[in-house]
Amino acid sequence: MEKRLNSVRGVVAVSLLALGLAGCASSSESPFSRPPSEPPLTGLIDQPTEVSRSSLTGAGNKVLAVALSKNVGYSRTFTDAMRRQYSAWTVQFNLPHLAADVDAVLSDDRLMAALFAPMRSRFKEVRLVRDVPEGFESGADYVGILDLDLNLQALSTFPKQRNLHIANASLLILDPDLVAGPLVKAEVQYEQETMAKGADGNIRDTMYAIKTTREKMLTAFEQDFVAKVSR
């Protein structure tokens, strides 16, 4: 009996560890900490603005400068922390066949490239700047404020993994007179509910949930962008 109990405890421990949630079985906080989200315009423009333009035409011969909100930095750091931890677990639990999947799903380069792809397909040029004034000083016709809010809330870990995956993205476009709009927006929440299966199954299920959530966000973001910005 004791041997059987020890075996069960071992499976439970691996399930929790492979999720990175040990000690947080009923927590509503992410197992990978990140600062609370801030208003997208924080630190990028000195004055408040309201969206008053619903669409934009003639982007094909215009330059768009993009400033990244603080939440973009928080989300990219959050994603990198998950990538490093899950990569470490593939080594710890001898799961080399999952390493490439972890790197692909949690790739910062792929995610940012996908977010910028619709912009590059519509504008003559897209460049990165630190804030709104720098964007217009660089000669851009418009400045877009890109916001990205990625998170994961652990609802339970055993006998089921229940995680709420959050992926939100927005782009607010401003002209030199600071007339705002359009606002391109995508908000996705995906609740993962899968049986705890040990390290291999838990990592697979969580990567699938993250991939699904972010793909839904990217698709919605592109569709809204294409609908509101034309060449």
| pLDDT tens digits along 13-25 | 344 444 444 333 3
What's 94's domain CATH number?
3.30.160.150
Q: Note whether 31 and 206 are within 8 A (CB).
A: no
- Number of domain units in the chain: 1
The DSSP code sequence of 172-219 is EEE-TT--EEEEEEEEEEEEEEEE---HHHHHHHHHHHHHHHHHHHHH
pLDDT band of residue 31 (cuts 50, 70, 90) is: low
**How large is the average pLDDT for residues 2-31?**
41
Rounding to the nearest 10 degrees, give the CA dihedral for residues 213, 204, 78, 33.
110
- Name beta bridge partners: 162: 156, 193
Cα(98)–Cα(24) distance, integer angstroms: 24
**How large is the average pLDDT for residues 91-109?**
97
Tell me, what's the pLDDT at 25? 35
Q: Does residue 211 carry a pLDDT above 50?
A: yes
Q: Note whether 184 and 170 are within 8 A (CB).
A: yes
- Name beta bridge partners: 67: 129, 145
Domain span at residue 123 reads 2-228
Q: Does residue 190 carry a pLDDT above 70?
A: yes
**Residue positions counted in the chain:** 231
Q: Does residue 28 carry a pLDDT above 50?
A: no
CA 118 to chain centre: 17
The DSSP code sequence of 47-68 is S---B----B--GGG-EEEEEE
| pLDDT tens digits along 123-172 | 999 999 999 999 999 999 999 999 999 999 988 888 999 999 999 999 99
Cα(74)–Cα(71) distance, integer angstroms: 5
Give 24 or 173, the one with higher predicted confidence: 173
Q: Does residue 35 carry a pLDDT above 80?
A: yes
pTM of this prediction exceeds 0.75: yes
